[in-house]
């Protein structure tokens, strides 16, 4: 059994630099994940279909572990290529009526916006935009703003569990309760949360989609969609493929011809598994889920909060302006800051990269996103790199 120790990056022996703080973009792959992917590719190279026959059944374990991660049931989970695919599947699968209203938030990552815009054009829906600023000020103010819209009648509220730009953790349980009080459903883009910030669909979440290449620390091109059982019967899989049918592979086995085109579609999420899955990526994700489960997401979240507390204080002392919420319940594992006005964001990020500190610059802010392998002892090293970079740029 591989040991997982918070703050120990020994499972990432090839990782370059002194502090990798870009898990909100793409996480590096751990040695166990790389080993599993290599094992799968070796079996495919050696046996072709034999590799598929060995590994495809083991994806049931990955489905089970994904369900456990969010407190769902395995049959509520579908494998999809990425977060966006899951958003598209739901946006085009809800049984819309002309004029139905969808609430979106200004400042969301486009993955949870564009599909709703396309669905609105296709089904003649009404999109309503709410600002995120009330939630930044207080949970109560944000919920009051949302309730005012729900009172007017809303079909779906689409929101990210964690806002990509500022790291704001949305109060999903309270939002879901409000949505259901007014007969609306809630869709959650969870990619900036899962693996590092707790998310539980028993809070009342109706739909959830996520890829695996950020805080779940898997490879790109693998993800999943959750559809609550209570929503399954009404979902219309307009974008279904051949694997969405009941017993879709029966005609490929047995002695007699069994091909037919009138098999009913499955109900719920798995009707949206349109074709062959990314077996290699999902197998790697399975290993990452095992690693994440050792400390557990709540412990990972607490570990990262200590890291960010120290980093935030140090950056504020150097003239950076934090966008982190003052409310601890609204904090994720992302710290976004505005850089001092006398330096250019892109130049500072490049200077930090040169000094082994890897971070991102979404939409005008500098974003730091550590994870369980990041040691608290890195913080002084990061701040020293910031000092060196600022001095070089100001010179």
CATH of the domain at 189: 3.40.640.10
Residues 56, 166 share a domain: yes
Q: What is the torsional sign of CA 44, 291, 79, 193?
A: negative
Q: What is the rounded distance in angstroms from the CA atom of residue 269 to the CA atom of residue 202?
A: 17
Q: Would you state the pLDDT for residue 142?
A: 98
Instruction: Give CA–CA dist 270/43, Å, rounded.
Output: 27
Q: pLDDT averaged over the chain?
A: 96
pLDDT on residue 255: 86
The pLDDT score that the predictor gives to residue 267 is 87
pLDDT at 224: 98
Structural domain of residue 108, as residue ranges?
34-292
Q: Tell me whether residue 259 is exposed, middle or buried, using C-beta atoms within 10 angstroms of its C-beta: 0 to 12, 13 to 18, 19 or more.
A: exposed
- Is 14 within the bounds of a domain? no
Strands (E), 215-360: 223-227, 321-322, 335-338, 357-358
Q: Using CB atoms within 10 Å of the CB of residue 233, give its burial: 0 to 12 exposed, 13 to 18 middle, 19+ buried.
A: exposed
206 with 326, same domain: the answer is no
Number of independent structural domains in the chain? 2
Contact between 220 and 281 under an 8 Å Cβ cutoff? The reply is yes
- Note the pTM of the prediction, 2 decimals: 0.96
Task: Check if the beta carbon of residue 4 is closer than 8 Å to that of residue 366.
Answer: no
Domain identity same for 288 and 310: no
Instruction: Quick: pLDDT tens for 40-70.
Output: 999 999 999 999 999 989 999 999 999 999 9
Residue 158 phi, psi (nearest 5): -110, 125
Choose one of 240, 266, 292: the last residue of a domain: 292
161 plus 266 within the same structural domain: yes
Round to whole Å and give the CA distance between 166 and 331.
10
pLDDT digits (tens, 9 = 90+) for 65-109: 999 999 999 999 999 999 999 999 999 999 999 999 999 999 999
Q: What pLDDT score was predicted for residue 41?
A: 97
Residue range 10-40, pLDDT digits in tens: 999 999 999 999 999 999 999 999 999 999 9
Q: How confident is the model at residue 200 (pLDDT cuts 50, 70, 90)?
A: very high
Partners of residue 158 on adjacent β-strands: 187
Whether pLDDT at 1 is above 80: no
Is the pLDDT at 168 greater than 70? The verdict is: yes
Task: Tell whether 11 is covered by a domain.
Answer: no
With respect to residue 3, please indicate whether it lies within any of the assigned structural domains: no
Q: Please tell me whether residues 309 and 265 are part of one structural domain.
A: no
**pLDDT (mean) for 259-269:** 90
What's the average model confidence in pLDDT over 316-338?
A: 97
CATH code where residue 347 lies: 3.90.1150.10
Q: Are 73 and 199 in the same domain?
A: yes
pLDDT digits 0-9 by tens, 349-388: 999 999 999 999 999 999 999 999 999 999 999 999 999 9
pLDDT number for residue 36: 97
Are the beta carbons of 83 and 191 closer than 8 angstroms? yes
Q: At what angle do helices 59-70 and 279-293 cross, to 10 degrees?
A: 50
């Amino acid at each position: 059994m591989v040991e997982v120790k918070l703050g120990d990056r020994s499972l990432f022996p090839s990782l370059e630099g002194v502090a990798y703080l870009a898990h909100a973009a793409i996480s590096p792959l751990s040695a166990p994940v790389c080993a599993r992917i290599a094992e799968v590719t070796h079996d495919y190279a050696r046996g072709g279909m034999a590799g598929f026959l060995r590994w495809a059944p083991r994806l049931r374990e990955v489905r089970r572990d994904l369900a456990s991660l969010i407190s769902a049931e395995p049959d509520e989970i579908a494998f999809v290529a990425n977060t966006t695919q899951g958003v598209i599947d739901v946006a085009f699968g809800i049984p819309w009526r002309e004029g139905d209203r969808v609430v979106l938030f200004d400042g969301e990552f486009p993955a949870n916006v564009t599909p709703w815009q396309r669905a609105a054009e296709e089904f003649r829906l009404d999109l309503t935009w709410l600002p995120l600023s009330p939630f930044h000020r207080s949970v109560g103010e944000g919920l009051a703003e949302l309730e005012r819209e729900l009172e007017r009648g809303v079909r779906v509220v689409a929101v990210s569990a964690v806002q990509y730009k500022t790291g704001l953790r949305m109060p999903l349980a309270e939002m879901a309760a409000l949505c259901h009080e007014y007969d609306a459903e809630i869709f959650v883009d969870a990619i900036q949360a899962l693996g590092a910030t707790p998310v539980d669909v028993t809070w009342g979440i109706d739909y959830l989609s996520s890829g695996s290449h950020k805080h779940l620390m898997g490879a790109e091109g693998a993800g999943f969609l959750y559809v609550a059982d209570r929503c399954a019967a009404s979902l219309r899989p307009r974008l279904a493929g051949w694997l969405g049918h009941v017993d879709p592979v029966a005609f490929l086995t047995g002695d007699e011809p069994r091909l037919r085109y009138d098999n009913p579609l499955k109900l719920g999420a798995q009707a949206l598994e349109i074709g062959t899955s990314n077996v290699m990526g999902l197998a790697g994700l399975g290993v990452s889920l095992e690693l994440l489960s050792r400390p557990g997401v709540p412990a990972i979240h607490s570990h990262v909060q200590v890291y960010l507390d120290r980093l935030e204080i140090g950056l504020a002392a150097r003239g950076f302006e934090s966008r982190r919420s003052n409310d601890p319940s609204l904090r994720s594992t992302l710290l976004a800051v505005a850089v001092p006005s006398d330096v250019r964001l892109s130049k500072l990020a490049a200077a930090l990269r040169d000094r082994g500190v890897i971070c991102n610059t979404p939409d005008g802010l500098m974003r730091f996103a550590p994870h369980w392998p990041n040691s608290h002892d890195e913080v002084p090293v990061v701040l020293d790199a910031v000092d060196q970079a600022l001095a070089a740029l100001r010179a």
